[in-house]
């Protein structure tokens, strides 16, 4: 097994802290590091070097009791072999690319197909399976870690050498995540985080179906079989996809007779078109657990957010504390470009050219109600 270099944390004002320590190893012998961010006010986050993964997120409830609210594993190496992308960074391109191919400047690029006939989340060896380098940890008003990754030209079929960064920053009331990347050839990029949230506490018996959800979207992208968007931008008004005002996640999830889209996705697995998508950081969604009072507000610069209700968690994967993760034990709110954008010139572009800087900012704000 390789040795993990433990980097000293830069001095940070009390009470915020940032520390790096070992967190197991991969089956191939690579050491996994864990960066512990603590804002000193009851919010703690653990980031892994493997996959630039959000492994845990401790949030207090309305009575001050802290619970971990993201699904994951207790040992770092599990993230190298297990599925479902728990908490990991997704890249180069989040979501599906139809047929495992796209054409850029007249050249077709073929990608590995790991979701039936389609390419999903960067392929089987995407950024979620890569060891990221810790470049800097420390703090001031917010405690942070900056990680980097180099993806060479032709990696999983994508053109251009991509130099990527993931910066997690924990402040008094929220966790920020900034992705940046540059390339030496024209390419496509769409990075996001794939955390499964359960604000009741990820180690308990309560699913997310009783959570309340608001999404700042008037339209969503219906899908065809294979969960590839048809290109239609369908209004959410009046149906099971209407989360413009706070609604219980599970209230309409089984209405497949009225909403064929729920049948195609086995629940919610759809991209919502966010309002006012001008590249600025803006509100995308709010998730609330009435029992604990925990509230998560998602903000992003991306044009869309994929709402996934944990439909393919089937009890065959054992997570933290020996818990078998089952359907809807967690849900994902993944801000990102639209699925299959590299094949859809009518969608907002995901192209990155040399000399440009790709940047995607995500902010999770936390409070209690």
Domains and CATH numbers, the chain: 17-368 (2.70.98.10)
Rounded to the nearest angstrom, the gap between the alpha carbon of residue 155 and the centroid of all alpha carbons in its chain is: 21
Main-chain dihedrals φ then ψ at residue 113, nearest 5 degrees: -100, 110
- What is the pLDDT tens value at each position of the chain, 369 positions in all? 334 443 434 444 446 788 999 999 999 999 999 999 999 889 999 999 999 999 999 999 999 999 999 999 999 999 998 889 999 999 999 999 999 999 999 999 999 999 999 999 999 999 999 999 999 999 777 899 999 999 999 999 999 999 999 999 999 889 999 999 999 999 999 999 999 999 999 999 999 999 999 999 999 999 999 999 999 999 999 999 999 999 999 999 988 777 999 999 999 999 999 999 899 999 999 999 999 999 999 999 999 999 999 999 999 999 999 999 999 999 999 999 999 999 999 999 999 999 999 999 999 999 999
Check whether the bond before 51 is cis (ω within 30° of 0).
no
DSSP state of 76: G
Report yes or no: 279 and 189 within 8 Å, Cβ to Cβ.
no
Whole-prediction pTM? 0.95
From CA 362, how far away is CA 195, in angstroms rounded? 12
pLDDT confidence of residue 8: 39
Annotated catalytic residue: which of 119, 194, 211, 289? 194
> Of the listed 165, 211, 334, 360, which one is catalytic?
334
Q: CB-based contacts of 355: which residues, under 8 Å, 6+ apart?
A: none
Q: State yes or no: is 75 an active-site residue.
A: no
Q: How many CB atoms lie within 10 A of CB 281?
A: 13
pLDDT number for residue 1:
38
Alpha helices (H) along the chain: 260-264
Structure tokens belonging to residue 182: 């540059």
Cα-to-chain-centroid distance, residue 357: 20
What is the DSSP pairing of strand 212-215 with strand 282-288? antiparallel
Q: What is the pLDDT of residue 5?
A: 42
Q: Is residue 334 annotated as a catalytic residue, yes or no? A: yes
């Amino acid at each position: 097994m390789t040795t993990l270099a433990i980097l000293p944390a830069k001095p940070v004002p009390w009470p915020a802290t940032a520390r790096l320590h070992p967190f197991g190893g991969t089956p191939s012998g690579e050491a996994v590091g864990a960066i512990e961010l603590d804002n000193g006010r009851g919010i703690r986050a653990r980031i892994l070097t493997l996959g630039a993964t959000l492994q845990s997120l401790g949030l207090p409830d309305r009575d001050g009791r802290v619970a971990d609210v993201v699904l994951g594993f207790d040992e770092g190496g599990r993230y190298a072999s297990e599925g479902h992308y728990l908490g990991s960074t997704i890249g180069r391109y989040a979501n599906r690319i139809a047929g495992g191919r796209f054409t850029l400047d007249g050249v077709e690029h073929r990608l590995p197909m790991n979701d039936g006939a389609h390419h999903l989340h960067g392929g089987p060896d995407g950024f979620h399976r890569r060891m990221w380098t810790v470049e800097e940890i420390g703090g001031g008003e917010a405690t942070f870690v900056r990680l980097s990754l180099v993806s060479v030209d032709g990696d999983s079929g994508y053109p251009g050498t991509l130099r990527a960064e993931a910066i997690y920053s924990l402040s008094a009331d929220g966790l920020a995540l900034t992705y940046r990347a540059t390339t030496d050839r024209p390419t496509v990029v769409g990075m996001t985080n794939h955390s499964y949230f359960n604000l009741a506490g990820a180690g308990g018996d309560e699913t997310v179906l009783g959570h309340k959800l608001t999404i700042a979207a008037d339209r969503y992208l219906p899908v065809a079989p294979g969960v590839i968007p048809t290109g239609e931008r369908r209004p959410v008004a009046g149906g099971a996809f209407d989360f413009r005002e706070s609604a219980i996640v599970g209230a309409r999830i089984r209405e497949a007779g009225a909403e064929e889209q729920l049948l195609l996705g086995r629940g919610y697995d759809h991209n919502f078109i966010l309002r006012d998508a001008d590249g600025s950081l803006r509100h995308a969604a709010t998730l609330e657990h009435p029992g604990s009072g925990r509230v998560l507000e998602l903000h992003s610069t991306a044009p869309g957010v994929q709402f996934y209700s944990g439909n393919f968690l089937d009890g065959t994967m054992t997570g933290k504390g020996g818990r078998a993760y089952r359907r809807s034990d967690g849900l994902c709110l993944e801000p990102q470009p639209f699925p299959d954008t590299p094949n859809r010139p009518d969608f907002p572009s995901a192209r990155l050219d040399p000399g440009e800087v790709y940047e995607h900012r995500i902010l999770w704000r936390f409070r209690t109600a």
